[in-house]
Amino acid sequence: MKIQILTQYYTPYLNSFYVAHPKFKELSYKEMLNLLLNQFFADTGAAHYYFNLNGYESSIIIANCELLQKKWAQENNFIYDYLNWEKEIALAQIQYFKPDVFYIESIFSFYGAFIKEAKKYCKKVAAWISTPFTTDLPLNDIDVIFSSTPDFVKCFNNSGILSYYILPGFDERVLEKIENPQSKTINFSFVGGWSDVHINRKLLLNQFVNTTPLEIWGYGYKKNYSMKSLSFYKNYFFPDNKEILKHYHKELWGLEMYEILQKSLITLNVHEALLNGNVGNMRMFEATGVGTMLLNDYGNNLSQLFEIDKEIVAFKSFPEALEKYQYYVEHPTEAIQIGLNAQKRTLRDYTFNNHVLNISDKLKKIF
């Protein structure tokens, strides 16, 4: 079976990657792609790797990586409209590869007309949707949807679109790429974004920065406004997350993110309301995969995923979270053991290889 994955990378990450690799544009398309995937930035790279490992023929499109995509066009003598290069080159790649399954992430600007056109060159279309979407999102040309959000799965199935609940996974190759194990030089960390959809996260982080030395990494904490705008000066002198910024370090991605997680004695995780009382985001498996104790919000399904207080530490309120943080920071040996227990569970049950095998089993059912 041939599987082609379409994704996008976070633009600020790509910009920082270009700065770190000034000779990137001089490489061949294959060399460019391999260099990008070896940064372990996104889980789509892991999906691509493990599909190939399990005997599938996999291809990956990083649609918004301009240097990479235009290199493909150059090498394949494909002429594109400079105003619409992103979709035109991606569509040409699908037409060239002719996948059995075209697998698209939650790149909603590519839904609708693009998927309809892509379907001319593939047998089936699969999608991964676990982020909020509007009710008018066109889904009629998608054959199967995977999601780690149970309510989404129920919604899709009720609307007549085959959908399956599948948890994210941990790419165990990371442990070969980072220094492993490492000393726990960070007592308490949080790694993740800061945006309007992160309501529970913002509330919890604001409570923790007032009571603990929480160290924060991620995107969205510093706003980029034009110096000509009033918003620039308002945000400069009166940022709405002033206390958060005192604890904030920088954006980090890929292997650098895993390094910070592994150096943490305790790392914090919180889910948003869209999961409706359940848990199971990517951070759960990234943190446990590198062997760090996760202080995680309680979910209805949590005990089905990890053994509470042995493999993961859970809380139902901020006072309880603070109490558990204080206990484990004073008992680091216990925290380290919980992290190691969680790692053993993740490497057994929640690897990305298992994730891909689960998806491939479901894909076989639609042929």
* Same domain, yes or no: 114 and 72: yes
pLDDT at 228 over 80: no
Q: Judge contact between 155 and 181, C-beta under 8 A.
A: no
Mean pLDDT of 273-286: 88
Cα three-residue angle 65-67-70, rounded to 5 degrees:
100
Strand positions, DSSP E, the chain = 2-7, 57-62, 101-104, 124-128, 144-147, 162-165, 186-191, 215-217, 264-269, 293-297, 313-315
Could you tell me the pLDDT band of residue 241, with boundaries at 50, 70 and 90?
A: confident
Going from the C-alpha of 364 to that of each of 1, 60, 254, the distances in angstroms are: 9, 20, 31
| DSSP three-state, residue 32 | helix
Q: How confident is the model at residue 223 (pLDDT cuts 50, 70, 90)?
A: low
Strand, coil or helix: 246: helix
Residues 188 and 261 in one domain: yes
182 and 305, same domain (yes or no): yes
Exposure of 58 by Cβ count < 10 A (0-12 exposed, 13-18 middle, 19+ buried)?
Answer: buried
Number of domains, the chain = 2
Q: Tell me the per-residue pLDDT of 257-271, one tens digit each, with 9 for 90 and over.
A: 999 999 999 999 999
Percentage of the chain exceeding pLDDT 90:
87
pLDDT digits (tens, 9 = 90+) for 1-16: 999 999 999 999 999 9
Q: Where do we find the tokens 């379907």? A: 119
Question: For residue 226, is pLDDT > 50?
Answer: no
268 DSSP β-pair partners: 295
Give the residues across from 248 on adjacent strands.
216
pLDDT, one tens digit per residue, over 44-90 is 999 999 999 999 999 999 999 999 999 999 999 999 999 999 999 99
Q: How confident is the model at residue 233 (pLDDT cuts 50, 70, 90)?
A: very low
Mean pLDDT of 319-333: 98
DSSP 97-146: H--SEEEE-S-GGGTTHHHHHHGGG-SEEEEE--S---TT---TT-SEEE
Mean pLDDT value across the chain: 93
CATH code where residue 302 lies: 3.40.50.2000
| Distance, CA of 142 to CA of 126 (rounded, Å) | 6
**Residues 225 and 344 occupy one common structural domain:** yes
Q: How confident is the model at residue 240 (pLDDT cuts 50, 70, 90)?
A: low
Task: Give residue for tokens 């919980």.
Answer: 338
Q: Based on the domain organization, do 162 and 187 belong to the same domain?
A: no
Share of the chain above pLDDT 70, in %: 95
25 membership: H or E segment, kind and range: none
One domain, residues 183 and 160: no
Q: Quick one: 191 and 110 in the same domain?
A: no
Render the burial of 69-108: b for 16+ CB within 10 Å, e for the rest: bbbbbeeeebebeeeebbbbbbbbbbeebebebbbbbbbe
Residue indicated by tokens 């899709």: 156
284 and 243 together in one domain: yes
What is the maximal distance between C-alpha atoms in the chain? 62
Q: What was the pLDDT predicted at 239?
A: 56
Same-domain status, 164 and 91? yes
Same domain, 98 and 196: no
What are the distances in angstroms from CA 72 to CA 5, 207, 235, 328?
Answer: 16, 48, 41, 51
- pLDDT at position 234, please? 44
The total of other beta-carbon atoms located within 10 Å of residue 360's CB is 17
Residue 91 belongs to domain spanning: 2-169+352-364
Q: Give 272's pLDDT tier (boundaries 50, 70, 90).
A: confident
Strand order in the sheet with 57-62: 57-62, 2-7, 101-104, 124-128, 144-147, 162-165
Same structural domain, 293 and 223 = yes
Indicate the pTM of the whole model. Answer: 0.91
Are 84 and 200 contained in the same domain? Answer: no
Q: What is the CATH number of the domain that holds 98?
A: 3.40.50
DSSP label at residue 220 = S
